Structure 1
Amino acid sequence: MRFVSSIALLFLAGLGLATPVNSVRGDVAGTAGDQGKGKGKGKGKGKCNDAPNAHCLHPNDVDTVVDAYVRMLSKWNDTDAQYLADGFSDSSDSINILAGYPLGVPTFPTKAAFIEHQHVQPDNLPLVITHKSPFSCDEIALIWQATFGIAQKQVRGVAILRATKEKGFWQILNIDVEFNNLAYLLNIGGSFTPPGQQQQ
């Protein structure tokens, strides 16, 4: 069904605040556990996000991962599958409740399941990222929006992308996403009756 399939992938669009994200502003890309060189005259040799080969996300890495995420949801191309880690999963109760899936379980438990969905029913959402910080060593927080479909309602959501560099470049390991799914439902041709109101 288009309803279930279409709803299902908005996930990749993704957030579910499963792990706290350390607040970081713009060019200050550190975490509580960083032991990088400070502003003093010392000769610290610790790792920090500003080091090109550090094991934590650098601002340029964040841009690469977020751009790949946007492309996946906007217009799927198999080339972007390289940005999904082998252990990838995607979770969204916003999707699950609309699609009739149990709450609290992964919407796409594997990389293969996510790719299959994109082949069968790609969402082609006009995703716009309005905010992409804070980010920690391996997580990125996003706010996104998309206006589409029959009702042309703006769908606004929050996503947490957890990344990994197991293969020498950054990939998306987990996506957690939640969004205003009633607006999404209207956009794909569904309907609902608000509490206390009669169906017309």
Structure 2
Amino acid sequence: MRFSSLIALLAGTALALPTGTLTPRQEEQACLTKDEAAEIVEIYRRLIAEYDPTDCEKYCAEDFVDRSDSINTFIHKPLGEPTFATKQIFMDAQLSNPPFPVVIDHIDAVDCEAIALRWHATFGAANLPSRGITIIGTTKREGYWQIKSLDVEFNSLIWLLNMGGSYVWEG
């Protein structure tokens, strides 16, 4: 009796299983290699340190966005809002900004479409190293990798001193 119950249970379970044939996986989405990530990081460095509009035109995606509360504090934008909501706004801002000597300290992580890195910039009046982190979001379009998003935060107080500003600590 138990044996026939087991057979009935197994037969019912088999009927409940999907019966389609196995198909090959869809073509997987392209993922960054470490070498490609290093190239994108160099493009990012150039966009900040040695801005050339042709780099931005080619390597920034059309739906590019840059977010940085550190920068928002300097340009009086509300925290949490995109700093440069479009590629064109970013390009206009970079054309009016002086280049900053960004030094890439380390690429910390490379994911399928994201890169995390640490950097510093030492310049200006105080000549102190302002350390920062950047997360670069990428997309592969037109046969090559492009920067889709930048999330950047850095020591904005040191940056302020480097730009010749000052602050008063009230504690």
TM-score bracket relative to the smaller structure: 0.7 to 0.9
Matched, 1:71 2:76: no
CA distance in 1, matches of 2:38, 2:50: 18
**Normalized against structure 2, the TM-score is what?**
0.81
Residue aligning to 2:122: 147
**Normalized against structure 1, the TM-score is what?**
0.69
Instruction: Extract unaligned runs of 5+ from structure 1.
Output: 1-44, 49-53
CA distance in 2, matches of 1:192, 1:98: 13
For 2:60, the aligned partner's letter is L
Computing the radius of gyration from Cα coordinates, the structure with the larger value is 2
Percent sequence identity over aligned pairs: 42
Stretches of 4+ aligned residues off by more than 3 angstroms: 45-48
Return the structure number with greater relative CO, CA threshold 8 A, min gap 6.
1
For 1:178, the aligned partner's letter is E
CA distance in 2, matches of 1:138, 1:146: 25
Of the three residues 102, 106, 120, the one matched with 1:127 is: 102
1:46 offset after TM fit, Å?
9.3
Residue aligning to 2:66: 90
Residue aligning to 1:101: 77
What is the aligned-residue RMSD (CA, Å)?
1.8
1:75 offset after TM fit, Å?
1.1
Matched, 1:183 2:126: no
Q: Which has the higher helix share?
A: 2
Tell me the SS of whatever aligns to 1:170.
Answer: strand
Q: Which has the higher strand share?
A: 2
CA distance in 2, matches of 1:74, 1:120: 13
Aligned length: 147
